[in-house]
Structure 1
Amino acid sequence: MRRTTLAMALALMALAACKEEVAVLPDPVELTPEAAGYYCQMTLLEHEGPKGQIHLDGLPAPLFFSQVRDAVAYLMMPEQSHDVVAVYVQDMARAKSWAAPGLDTWVPAADAVYVVDSRKLGGMGAPEFVPFSDEGAARAFIAEHGGELRQFADFTAADVLAPTGPADAEDGADDDVADRLNALTDPKGD
């Protein structure tokens, strides 16, 4: 179902780009020191790695995301209140470095190829979808940092909403959470 939502958003953006009577898609907004991540509310320039921005119908400014993966997660969630008009990600083929991807290196998300499952973590310390406008640059990144290629339209809800990293249930994290919850509900502390 979430894959359908992403496919519909891409189709609407493509349709809007083709119709002359539809308003021109907004340009990506250059990052400023005040730009804050939608989920974390931390300034984006404090985080390494690529970022994302989503323009919504009726809103004057885009939503910024500290990681590309967070932007894709937003697209998968049913709680959205506005139609998606445009989605941009930072192009790591044009980035100065991982630490400083640039203020104006944006590319339409649907036009990029992504490296997933690499050893590089995004700005919030989670696995990242690393976007490239050039497949050769993406393959060079894979040679150095591992991972595999993926297209934007192929992302699913499971790719972004499933647990990741060392806090996965496989390492006993769920047991720790259960123990803490039991301690909170046990008045004796037993």
Structure 2
Amino acid sequence: MKLPLPHTLRLPPLVVHTATLLLVAGLLAACGKTDDTSAGPKDIAKETACALDGMFLADYPGPKAQILYDGAPEPEFFCDTMEMFSLYLKPEQARKVKGIYVQDLDKTPWDAPKGAWIDARGAFYVVGSKKRGAMGPTIPSFGSRDGAQKFADANGGKVYPFAEVTADMARLDGGALHDQRM
């Protein structure tokens, strides 16, 4: 036996139709919204190459870096932080940067760094150390000032936050041209 619905619960067909359309439109709009995970750092694969020179990143020691530009689906990778700073700090660099990431040497080894990506703008850097990266002199990155200072005490150099690293500190002319191992 069916019980009749009270008159107050019956809606006119136009209201039901409009409500249904609004519900469907809302669901479709929600389907198009996703979290923007592309803004986060990407891991280095065996075939990941440097944007500047094509070197395979996984083959070399020292911290790596990546820049994600607004509108780009994938980041540009760099085989060391010196290259990233050199490009990023150039006055003619006009592309809008969505994210910059470096490897935290507090959490990954120098000789075979993997993962440990952190926001480059919150990291600390050692400029002038005797350690060499993929292209010779580099600017090691750390998630903590203490970690950077311990590295500087052991390997030379001075600690700087991101905002204090200058284009003069990130000159590439001291890299491969002066690397005696090559």
Listed as ranges, the matches of 1:64-103 within 5 Å are 64-80=77-93, 82-95=95-108, 97-102=109-114
Q: Which amino acid aligns with 1:120?
A: K
Question: Percent identity, aligned pairs only?
Answer: 34
CA contact (8 A) 1:58 1:82 kept: no
CA contact (8 A) 1:50 1:131 kept: yes
Q: Which amino acid aligns with 2:119?
A: P
Q: Which amino acid aligns with 2:140?
A: V
Distance 2:100 2:90 in 1: 15
With over 3 angstroms needed to count, the CA separation of the structure-2 counterparts of 1:74 and 1:48, relative to structure 1, is same
Distance 1:68 1:106 in 2: 12
CA contact (8 A) 2:82 2:172 kept: no
List runs of 5+ in structure 1 lacking aligned partners.
Answer: 1-22, 169-190
Q: Which amino acid aligns with 1:98?
A: W
Task: Give the alignment's Cα RMSD to 1 decimal.
Answer: 2.1
Number of equivalent positions: 143
CA contact (8 A) 1:47 1:99 kept: yes
CA contact (8 A) 2:135 2:176 kept: no
State the partner residue of 2:157: 147
List runs of 5+ in structure 2 lacking aligned partners.
Answer: 1-35
Distance 1:166 1:63 in 2: 20
State the partner residue of 2:118: 107
Deviations 1:93-128 (A, max 9, x none): 001x211111x2101001111111011011112x11
State the partner residue of 2:6: none
Does 1:119 pair with 2:160?
no
TM-score under structure 2 length normalisation: 0.72
State the partner residue of 1:46: 59
- Describe the SS at the equivalent of 2:111: coil
Shift of 1:46: 0.8
Shift of 1:141: 1.0
* Larger radius of gyration between Structure 1 and Structure 2: 2
Given the alignment, which residue of 130, 134, 139 partners 2:144? 134
